[in-house]
Amino acid sequence: MPHLEATGLYNSINLQESWSSSVNGPVVTGKRVPVFACPTDSKAGQVRLASGVKLFPTNYGFNFGTWFVFDPLSAGGGDGLFFPNSWLRMETVTDGMSNTLLVAEVKSWQAYTRNVPPPTRAIPENLSDVVTAVDVGVKDRIQAATRDGTGHTEWANGNSHHSGFTTTLTPNTNVAWT
């Protein structure tokens, strides 16, 4: 099955293995998928070393939903079409594909916070609520990982901070949070 003009690369990846495994790491390291790179992103060609694998960033993310992304206890996702370990089919979109946001352009090398459960699944109403929720999540979880600007830098990594986005905030919202 052809996949974005990279059939050979796709066929050489074992989808049952992690992207950085000894099986897939050598396959994806140093591979640039041109369709994943926006020509106007000045950092789209900057390589990142992650888990011993050299990866190019991606400029396209998949819709992981409004706010809540994934619950590892129930293996359930949020209200987006994509979430970890999901196998949703287009038939699950009951209001028609014309009303569904699948993919959007994202900037590579973005700051992000991860491994911080939101204090609530309720969708924040404004930017201040988002910052408060992240602050609470970080303070409540000692092992929370706050990252520098490495979001959207691993095209082969399916985690939401690399391959996705949420729609809580409008595009290009400037979030001043440290």
Whether residue 1 is contained in a domain is answered as no
CA–CA dist 130, 168 (Å, integer): 8
Query: What pLDDT is stored for residue 37 in this prediction?
Result: 92
Whether residue 2 is contained in a domain is answered as no
Whether residue 149 is contained in a domain is answered as yes
CA distances, 57 to each of 26, 95, 140 (Å) = 17, 32, 31
Which residue is associated with the tokens 């959207």?
Answer: 152
Whether residue 175 is contained in a domain is answered as no
Whether residue 120 is contained in a domain is answered as yes
Range of the domain at 68: 7-165
Query: Global pTM?
Result: 0.81
Q: How many domains does the chain have?
A: 1
Tell me the mean pLDDT per 10 residues along the chain, length 178.
69 92 94 91 93 94 88 86 82 82 91 69 80 66 63 90 88 74
